[in-house]
Amino acid sequence: MTSDKSVTDSPVRTDGLHLENFLPYRLSVLSNRVSNAIAQAYGTRFRLTIPAWRVMAILGRFPDLSAAELVEQTAMDKVAISRAVSTLLSNDYITRSEDPADRRRQVLNLSQLGRQVYGQIVPLAQGYENDLMSSLSAEERHQLDGIIDKLMDRAQAWADRGLID
């Protein structure tokens, strides 16, 4: 009398939380799958970590930012930015120059090389996004857009109300 248990053929009912339908869980799985796939793609080609690429992505759009401004933009933390910046400097993907008006502040930009890499990664990333989006109808895409905004606001409200920390 073997008590063979396989998840699939013994759906024991204890009526608890159904993780597989639980939105936070599904979001987390989806987000990780997507990010890892993309990170893998540019990571192997250009030796970039996710935070490093994120910094490049912002600098590519908004030149002349300081580390603090990057923090603001990305919601990443100081330390992560600092580390990303230092590896990007040693890769020569970005440049750093002192702000003469405030010698603590350092102005960051994509370097020549950085812009070139950026120019290659952008379509690559967009390719993944398009592929993802292509599984949705135009209507669904539009719906998703609004839904994410609403969820984002709600989750943000938790933090604001002090439900977090």
> CB under 5 to 8 A by kind: which of DNA, a second copy, none does 98 bind?
none
Tokens of 139: 């209507």
The residue among 22 and 92 lying less far from a second copy, judged by its C-beta, is 22
Tokens of 134: 């292509």
Q: Is 90 in the site for a second copy (CB under 8 A)?
A: no
Q: Which residues in the 8-27 window bind a second copy by CB under 8 A?
A: 8, 10-12, 14, 16-19, 22-27
Tokens of 28: 């987390």
* CA dist., res. 41 & res. 60, Å (int): 19
Q: Which residues in the 70-109 window bind DNA by CB under 7 A?
A: 77-83, 85-86, 102-106
The residue among 89 and 133 lying less far from DNA, judged by its C-beta, is 89
Residue 136: count of CB within 10 angstroms of its CB = 12
> CB under 5 to 8 A by kind: which of DNA, a second copy, none does 113 bind?
none
If phi > 0 it is left, if psi is from -120 to 50 it is alpha, else beta; for residue 92 that is left
